Amino acid sequence: MAERVRVRSMMPPGHVRAPAYLRGKTGEIERELGRFANPEQLAYGLEAEKQPLYRVRFTMAEIWGEAAERPTDTIDAEIYGHWLERL
């Protein structure tokens, strides 16, 4: 069974790497892609910590609610671990 996660609902200023339309939404980790330098720190010329990057799968019903034309279709997004809350 895939691990369920929620994208944090943070709205920090500046360069961030979590799409706003996914914040607060729940999905399942499809797979871990490895550890990479945090692009949010690199964007400001800072020394970047390595963060795990995950491919997370969301249903259209989760993202768009009753407005979803095909509720069981899915979308995958690559999201850094510091944006995810384990459920």
Backbone region of residue 24 per phi and psi (left: phi > 0; alpha: psi in -120 to 50; beta: other values): left
pLDDT tens profile 52-71: 999 999 999 999 999 999 99
C-alpha 47/C-alpha 50 separation (Å) is 10
Tokens, residue 1 = 């069974």
For the chain, the domains span: 4-8+17-86
- The pLDDT mean for the chain works out to 95
Helix (H, G, I), strand (E, B) or coil at 27: strand
What pLDDT does residue 14 have?
84
Tell me the fold of 4-8+17-86: SH3 type barrels. (2.30.30)
All residues at 6 or more sequence positions from 64 whose CB lies less than 8 Å from its CB, including other chains:
none
- Contact of 24 with 7, CB cutoff 8 Å: yes
- What pTM, to 2 d.p., does this model score? 0.93
